[in-house]
Amino acid sequence: MQPTAPLLSAVLLTAAGVDAAADPPGRPIDISIVNSSGDDLDVEVFDNLCGDVVASGRLVGKSELAAQVCSQDMKRGDVTVRDLRSGAEQRYTDVVDGANLEAP
């Protein structure tokens, strides 16, 4: 699906000072946040593995937003998508590369 309006571009934020004993994040994976409603949403995408907000802003109706997130355990990510206006949020665990995640 091609967006019909300019959207946000997301930048992967890397974790600094990773403890050597911890399981460091693997290669980033690509995901899309999908807004299937006709309404614009103000969203925030939080990478639960790296602990960073990877995208934040307006997601226009009937469009999607690309982002990159950290992965672990067989290239799987863990992401929380928040609607900043309503406060609704949805957590997605075991996210695979190329996944389409619905905005709440």
What is the reported pLDDT for 24? 65
For residue 73, the model assigns a pLDDT of 83
Percent with pLDDT over 90 in the chain: 72
Total-model pTM: 0.75
In contact, 55 and 103? CB cutoff 8 Å = no
At residue 6, the pLDDT reads: 37
CATH class as words, domain 29-102: mainly beta
83 pLDDT band, cuts 50/70/90, is: very high
Collect contacts of 40-44 with beta carbons under 8 A, ≥24 apart: 41/83, 41/85, 41/103, 42/83, 42/84, 42/85, 43/81, 43/82, 43/83, 43/84, 43/103, 44/81, 44/82, 44/84
